[in-house]
Structure 1
Amino acid sequence: MTKYQLRESALELLTRVGEQGGYSHVLLDQEMSKRHLSAKDGALLTEIVYGTLQNKMKIEYEIQPYLKKQKKLKPWVKWLLYMSVYQMRYLERVPDHAVIHEAVEISKKKGHKGISSLVNGILRNVQRNGVQSIESIEDPVEKLSVETSHPKWLVDRWVKQYGIEVTKGICFQNLKHLPMSVRAQPLRISREAAMTELKSRGIKTEISPFSSQGFLITEGNILSDPLFTKGQVTVQDQSSMLVAEMMDLTPGLLVLDACSAPGGKTTHIAEKLEDKGKVIAYDLHKKKAKLVDEKAKLLQLNSIQAAQADSRKLEEIHQTESFDRILLDAPCSGLGVLRGKPDIKYHKKEQDIYDLRRIQDDLLSSLALLLKDGGKFLYSTCTIDQHENEEAIKQFLEQNKDFEVDPAFNEDLPEFLRDSMGLSEYGLQLFPHQWDTDGFFLTRMVKRAK
């Protein structure tokens, strides 16, 4: 793929994500598969798309003076400017003249001479005169919003919930690459053996403190390695690995995973059960439930039974008080995973948080009926919003007096998390800048025996 084609491809993806609400990670995966990109081209395409999305609001502000006289620009022209300025400002290995030349060529092909002259003029101005500084923004919340490209309503919300310093930590961390972490399938290979084997092939690793099965990939491509392609290791964020680790699992238990796709936590549960017992896994969408099945087959786990169902209505399928453990990895705003899915911050609205909370409440109350006395219920989300996390659990406990946060929850956490700033009486909130993970919440409740 030529560099021109690669930038053309990046522009198409950015326009689809920015204007049509496409998901960046899904579209990128599809594009790389369709075009059979080399690792080098795939990395550059990913860098341009994610980098532009992560920094879009800042770039928009920086080049605003050059756009003032322009009447309404077509969306693709704006995205071409954003991605070109991103490369000029943030990618040292890419020369400015090459970026400008290819942006002009793309604008000639997609538009007309007037558009290509405009693009050339703006990018030359950026090259010669630099960009508008954010230092003139006096309001600290607005400045943080622009500097880190997070919508102001979101920064405002986090400042109210956690204060300005924690919010700064979250916002700046969201601009950094998330390290890739993987989990060994211990019934097939130990973590140590997997790390040794990868080292022999030039892939560098580092142990994760979050799970006895987890480790980080610090250098090299795990996705084309036989350990990954044959299902001896699987990709999972470190914070997400904490879920199965905290479910207090022993072989032979009957476990319900209520919102299971794509199956990372489901398969981890089966591994912790030593594939003895049963994991019944549901997802609202048939296609997604199939993904869980496929993941289980790849990892050679037989204890998982995946199916489509609305988990708010599972009492129509299962008897009350029939499960030893329940996991509700609840549908949420996803505000903890902005590093891997930067488009979320532009597509989400504040009202979405309240709409999702109603679904979370319904799921919590209906699933609670299915737990045995003495059983344990783990609730998790990949968001950092208190309304979806601590407040949801507080309300659930007030309405379900036979449940409490498990008194052993804190002592069962890995030692380094036991005095975490995100620990409250309702569970553990992990922030992206704390341990270089996704933002994540989890708690474990126990149903008191009658």
Structure 2
Amino acid sequence: MSKPTPISGFPEWLPAQRMIEQNVIERIRATFELYGFAPLETRAVEPLDQLLRKGETSKEVYVLRRLQEDPGAQRDDSLGLHFDLTVPFARFVLENSGRLQFPFRRYQIQKVWRGERPQEGRYREFVQADIDVVDRDNLPFHYDTEMPLVIGDAFASLPIPPVTIQVNNRKVCEGFYRGLGLEDPDQVLRTIDKLDKIGPEKVAALLVETAGASDAQAAACLRLAAISTDDTSFVDAVRALGVDNPLLDEGLAELAGVVEAASEHAPGLVRAELKIARGLDYYTGTVYETQLRGYERFGSICSGGRYENLATSGNERFPGVGISIGVTRLLGLLFGRNALGASRSVPTCVVVALPAEELRPVCDRIAQALRRRGVSTEVAPSAAKFGKQIRFAERRGIPYVWFPGTDGEADTIKDIRSGEQVEADAATWQPPAEDLRPRISRS
């Protein structure tokens, strides 16, 4: 077999990185469950007509089909791999609404696939960790204020730099644009969402070209987008622009509620950022984007918002609000800068030294005794000199080597970091809690 060629956009972490990923996922999962979110996993494929409901995503969907189809059979390109977890969740709610208790709180941590151009922090296959709350007919607004609190606690549990959750409300934007007299607020939103990519001058030109804005209207839209505060002073800043609209008033009140709740829970966590639009069509109210401090140029690592009509069938409507952590995106950025590390490259806590090959059964019994009490243990691969077996452990970061007693002597265990060696019994010995599992920390 020739040397394989890597496929860009499909990350494969080394074992130590995979342990970090699993640790991060477990901490996120634990936080979600502390807030009462229940686990869910949906299928990997969805009908294309459902996937394409989300807006400008047709170029990103991977179509699913068999390599070899039956002769004469009609080609079926009606299924695609899901590119997020919100659309599958909405479909799941519609299919199972009769068996769910509302409001329904779920978390979902699994892979998704997106056919975009791979680059640092952006992948074609990646893990997302989502939470959503949906209700029947109406969803109280206080769930919008809860989302940043959950995410703030989840990130605070991880050994990563601090984050800033940027929040806005589409009602603020839409009400402002309508108050200006612009008749296509969705097009204005999509254009404003390009600010960070193309800059204000090109955005202003696009507003005139595609949204029918005058130069004065475009300038007003940019002034709104420039408002950024870490408290509720954004309300006065918007009022100072002199635009009136009932929807604008509603949006300002909701956005102030989100900022106030987050400021009380974790000062400095949330920032009102009125240029945040989220380019996806189904968001109707609060929207969130999260930046990792020191990595702002890479964009959001966690985003979401309120949606009123995504899960709708006939007269049934299940409005919701949710937010999604890009786990692979976050880790890819940190791995790229060696900013996260594990105390060892394997789960193993103890290596049982092998004095001679014929003593392997004895060593296996020692290992089993330790494993029964939750101590990750392996037996040395060969009966080499003890120095070589110690180096085997050192190279992997394994902290302890167990030496079976011979000729009636007691077993001993050595902490190879300190050199301390003491007698030990495999039926009772326990490592310090901090050594039982690999430790994950910022490098």
Structure with greater proportional strand content = 2
Q: Could you say which structure has the larger radius of gyration?
A: 2
Higher relative contact order (CA 8 A, sep 6+): 2
Structure with greater proportional helix content = 1
Give the TM-score category using the shorter length.
under 0.3
Taking structure 2 as the reference length, the TM-score comes to 0.25
